[in-house]
C-alpha cells in the first residue's frame, strides 16, 4: 500500500502480533506506527484495532473482508479499514534450516507427518512440496486443529504437535506431547511441553530420537532388575549368599543399570534444534 495512513496503521497492528507474516511486515515498513486503540489479537484470524472511530483489521483475507470490500480470492495477509477496499501483501516464504532433513527423518522412520496450515491452498501446498509433506490441510482454524488431535487420540495415536503461533496454543495443549520454539508466542511456549531455543527444526527429530532411545534403556534396565532378583532372591532365601556377597551384588546391579543408561550419551545428536515457517507439523506415532 502507498497510502501513509494505511501503512502506519498496518505497522501498528503488526507490532501487536507474533505471527511471522506480521514480523516481516514490521521489518519492511519504515513508517511510524499510528496510535491505535482497542487492539485485539484474534487467534487464527489476525489483529484488529481502532484509529479514532475507524475499525481496522490485519490478517486472514476472509476475516478482513467481513468488514471491507474485497475480490474473491484475496490473498492473505490482508488489511482494510471498515467499509474500504482490502489490500493484500505479497510475502515470500522461506524454509528454516533443517526443515527438509527433519521431515525426511520421520518419513524414513515410517511416521506420517501432517501439515496443518491456516494459509490458502496454493501457499500451503507450495511449502509442503518443498519439505516433502504430502498430507496438507489448508485453511485450518484453531478449533479444527484441536478436533484433529482429538480424533487421533480416539483412534489410539499419540500425536507430537509443533507450533509457534497464538492460534496454535489450543492444539499444543491438546496434543499428547508438544514443542514450540523460544521465538514463538508466550501462550504457545506456556502450552508446549518442550521449548527449543535455536531457530531450527533439528530439535524435533532430535527429541524424538532421545525419547525413543530412553524408553528402550528403561525397558532394558527393568529386564536387568527382574533377572537380578530372579537369581539373587532364591539364593538368599536358601542361605547361599553371605551379607558381603549380597552387598556387592546390590552395588553391582546399580552400577550395571547406570552404565547402561550412560549409553544414551553416545546417541545424542550434535545439533539438536529448529523450527519451520509452517504452522504445525503433527506426528501421530
pLDDT exceeds 70 at position 270: no
Give the model confidence (pLDDT) of 74-117 as tens digits.
Answer: 677 889 998 888 888 877 777 877 888 889 989 888 899 999 98
The DSSP bridge partners found for residue 59 are: 46, 78
Give the model confidence (pLDDT) of 122-171 as tens digits.
Answer: 878 888 888 889 899 988 888 899 999 999 999 999 999 998 877 788 89
- Please say whether the beta carbons of 25 and 14 come within 8 A: yes
Q: Is residue 137 helix, strand or coil? A: strand
Per-domain boundaries in the chain = 4-88, 108-202+273-284, 206-267
Give the model confidence (pLDDT) of 43-85 as tens digits.
Answer: 778 899 998 888 999 988 888 888 888 766 667 788 999 888 8
Q: Which CATH superfamily includes the segment(s) 4-88? A: Calcium-transporting ATPase, cytoplasmic domain N (3.40.1110.10)
Report the pLDDT value the prediction gives residue 177, as an integer from 0 to 100: 92
Report the pLDDT value the prediction gives residue 63, as an integer from 0 to 100: 87
Report which secondary-structure segment, H or E, holds 47: strand 46-51
- Please say whether the beta carbons of 187 and 173 come within 8 A: no
CA–CA gap between residue 131 and residue 127 (Å, rounded): 7
Mean pLDDT, residues 209-214: 89
Q: Is residue 58 helix, strand or coil? A: strand
What secondary structure does DSSP assign to 94-112, as a single string?
Answer: -PPTTHHHHHHHHHHTT--
CA–CA gap between residue 212 and residue 106 (Å, rounded): 13
Instruction: Provide the grid cell at 124.
Output: 500451503
pLDDT exceeds 60 at position 282: no
Q: Which CATH superfamily includes the segment(s) 108-202+273-284? A: HAD superfamily/HAD-like (3.40.50.1000)
Q: Write the CB contacts of 276 (distance below 8 Å, at least 6 apart in sequence).
A: 95, 96, 99, 102, 131, 162, 201
Give the model confidence (pLDDT) of 195-207 as tens digits.
Answer: 888 778 888 888 8
Query: Residue 255 burial by CB count (10 A; 0-12/13-18/19+): exposed, middle or buried?
Result: exposed
pLDDT exceeds 80 at position 40: yes
Instruction: Provide the grid cell at 247.
Output: 552387598
CA distances 277 to 6, 93, 218, Å, are: 27, 7, 35
If you ran DSSP here, which 8-state letter would residue 152 be given? H
Q: Write the CB contacts of 99 (distance below 8 Å, at least 6 apart in sequence).
A: 130, 131, 201, 274, 276, 277
Amino acid at each position: 500500500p502507498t497510502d501513509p495512513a494505511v501503512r502506519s496503521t498496518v505497522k501498528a497492528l503488526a507490532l501487536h502480533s507474533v505471527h511471522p507474516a506480521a514480523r516481516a511486515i514490521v521489518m519492511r515498513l519504515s513508517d511510524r506506527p499510528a496510535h491505535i486503540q482497542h487492539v485485539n489479537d484474534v487467534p487464527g484470524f489476525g489483529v484488529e484495532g481502532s484509529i479514532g472511530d475507524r475499525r481496522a483489521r490485519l490478517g486472514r483475507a476472509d476475516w478482513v473482508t467481513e468488514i471491507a470490500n474485497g475480490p474473491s480470492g484475496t490473498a492473505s495477509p490482508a488489511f482494510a479499514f471498515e467499509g474500504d477496499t482490502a489490500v493484500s501483501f505479497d510475502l515470500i516464504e522461506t524454509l528454516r534450516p533443517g526443515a527438509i532433513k527433519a521431515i525426511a527423518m520421520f518419513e524414513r522412520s515410517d511416521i506420517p507427518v501432517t501439515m496443518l496450515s491456516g494459509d490458502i491452498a496454493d501457499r500451503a501446498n507450495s511449502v509442503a512440496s518443498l519439505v516433502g509433506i504430502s498430507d496438507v490441510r489448508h485453511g485450518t482454524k484453531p478449533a479444527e486443529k484441536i478436533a484433529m488431535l482429538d480424533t487421533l487420540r480416539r483412534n489410539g495415536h499419540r500425536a507430537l504437535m509443533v507450533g509457534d503461533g497464538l492460534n496454535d496454543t489450543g492444539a499444543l495443549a491438546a496434543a499428547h506431547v508438544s514443542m514450540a520454539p523460544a521465538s514463538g508466542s508466550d501462550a504457545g511456549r506456556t502450552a508446549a511441553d518442550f521449548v527449543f531455543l535455536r531457530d531450527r527444526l533439528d530439535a524435533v527429530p532430535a527429541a524424538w530420537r532421545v525419547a525413543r532411545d530412553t524408553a528402550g534403556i528403561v525397558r532394558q534396565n527393568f529386564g536387568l532388575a527382574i533377572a537380578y532378583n530372579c537369581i539373587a532372591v532364591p539364593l538368599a532365601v536358601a542361605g547361599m549368599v553371605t551379607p558381603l556377597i549380597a552387598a556387592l551384588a546390590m552395588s553391582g546391579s546399580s552400577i550395571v543399570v547406570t552404565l547402561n543408561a550412560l549409553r544414551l550419551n553416545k546417541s545424542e545428536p550434535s545439533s539438536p534444534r529448529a523450527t519451520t515457517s509452517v504452522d504445525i507439523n503433527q506426528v501421530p506415532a
